[in-house]
Chains A and B, each alone.
Chain A
Amino acid sequence: MSVSGSDRRAFLDTLFFTSLAAVAVAVLAPVPFFLLPPARARVRRVIVGLAAELRPGTARKFAYGERVGVVLHDGTALRVFDARCTHQGCKVNWDPNGRFLSCPCHGAAFSSTGEPLRGPHDGPLETLPYRITASGEIEVGE
């Protein structure tokens, strides 16, 4: 079988463009991985204040790593939530009169136990674990 010049050129062209495509893929492949952020160490624990200083019906917000938490005293117990509204992620605020958490963005409201009361939402607020230290401080985190 003889190989004509044009067959040969076509073959070389295919080889060239296939290699070019392979190089392009190899060069671009790391980009999506680069853009997806690596996992970072999370904040483990944070002291929010003295439990005795949080009066019934009041709440306090605190920074929890990059998150924002809210601790509230609903009259019977302390409750600690991630303040991130489950609708679209705005930060909820404690309404001292109505005794619920409300979101300024689209009007969602959550009860003092984190359950959705009204407005758009995607489930209850996330509860954050906490404990009271020996010196009476509220310590939020695992």
Chain B
Amino acid sequence: MRVGWIEDRTGARQWFRSVRARLSRPLPLKSAGITLGSVALFLLFLQFVSGALLTVYYVPSWSDAHDSVAHIVTEVRFGWLVRSVHVWSAHMTVAIVALHLMRVFVRGAYARPREATWWCGVLLGSLVAGAAFTGQALPMDEEATGGMAVAASFADSVGAGALVRGGPYVGQATLSRMFAAHVVFIPGSLLLLITLHLALVGRHRLQGAETMEGSSSAFPRRAALSCSGALAVLAVLAVAWPAGLGSEADPLGTAEHVKPMWIFLPIYQAVKGIPAWAAPLLLAIPAGFLILVPFLPWRRPVLAAGAVLLAAAVALGVLGAMA
């Protein structure tokens, strides 16, 4: 097939050139961490692929889910690897997205004219956390049932418990909802919002490089390098420490010492000390801060507030991990 014919029918080459031109804009002077967003994107791509593979064997059933995951990791060829990649890149995605947020925050890149990029990012961050949470519920180990109970009761305090539980009590209907959210609603929303996020980044260009002219291959090169690094780390983690599977949840009880994924440890620890009705504030206060940040003109107090929130989260998380 002649290239000219394909180009005429699809415009692929022209499209490719314009993408390359956008990626080849010069980098701002302060560009540390500039590839974090790209690494997040790369890891999410791995999540989509490995997750799609897992749906081939996974069964979203209250009684059979745990068996189906055990089947994947013990009997399906390379099943352990696919699951391990999915689980480890989930941890890495959450961590990288958090770092990306922190870089943007410290640089003040949320400010005018990038407010919409930032809000889109806040939504993306919540969706990534939501994906981690709902994914954790799927294997029906002890962590899973504990997590679902807690999520339902969080939702209860804002009157949306039935929406999470799918019925009066946590059970099959809850697991079905976790599954639907994890494989359809959250990934779909992620795709839409990532498209928007990238379009907005393209529109406003990178902070500090708005007026720079010329072309440079620094960004694509650094992004490729960072993604290769992430892939190497992931490969080591996934192969050397294959993702474990907790023991099957006891239908009549909550196991001792169940703890959520590390990113949720601060909340896990904080709810111990406050009345149940106040629990949603633990989410509302940081979320409110992140949403309002583009409107707050005071650089230093905002940075300080961010540092306090982060320090509180880390301290609570460490306490939660040791508890």
Q: A and B: partners?
A: yes
Chain A contacts to B: CB under 8 angstroms? 35-37, 39-40, 42, 61-63, 65-68, 83-84, 86-91, 93, 103-107, 119-122
Count B-side interface residues using an 8 Å CB cutoff.
34
Decide yes or no whether B96 CB sits under 8 A from chain A.
Answer: no
Are B272 and A86 in touch, CB under 8 angstroms?
no
Are A68 and B150 in touch, CB under 8 angstroms?
no
A37-B272 contact, Cβ under 8 Å, with A68-B253, A91-B252:
no
Question: Across the interface, which residues of A come within 8 angstroms of B262, CB to CB?
Answer: none
Question: Across the interface, which residues of B come within 8 angstroms of A107, CB to CB?
Answer: 272
Question: Across the interface, which residues of B come within 8 angstroms of A103, CB to CB?
Answer: 254
Question: Across the interface, which residues of A come within 8 angstroms of B154, CB to CB?
Answer: 88
Spot the interface stretch: B29-37, B120-128, B232-240, B275-283: B275-283
Cα–Cα, bound, A35→B275 (Å): 29
Having A37-B165, A120-B274, one finds 10 other A-B pairs with CB under 8 Å, namely: A36-B162, A66-B169, A66-B171, A84-B169, A88-B153, A88-B154, A88-B271, A106-B268, A106-B272, A121-B276
Chain B contacts to A: CB under 8 angstroms? 146, 149-150, 152-154, 156, 162-163, 165-171, 173, 251-258, 268, 271-277, 279
Give the 6 A-B residue pairs with the shortest CB-CB distance, closest first. A66-B169, A90-B254, A89-B149, A66-B171, A122-B276, A106-B272
Are A122 and B162 in touch, CB under 8 angstroms?
no
Are B167 and A89 in touch, CB under 8 angstroms?
no
Cα–Cα, bound, A76→B163 (Å): 41
Are A104 and B258 in touch, CB under 8 angstroms?
yes
Tell me whether chain A's interface is mostly helix, strand or loop, or mixed.
loop
Question: Across the interface, which residues of A come within 8 angstroms of B275, CB to CB?
Answer: 120, 122
A120-B273 contact, Cβ under 8 Å, with A35-B163, A89-B153, A89-B170:
yes
- Name the one of B149, B156, B168, B173 contacting A90, with C-beta atoms under 8 angstroms: B149
Cα–Cα, bound, A62→B250 (Å): 12
Cα–Cα, bound, A37→B164 (Å): 10
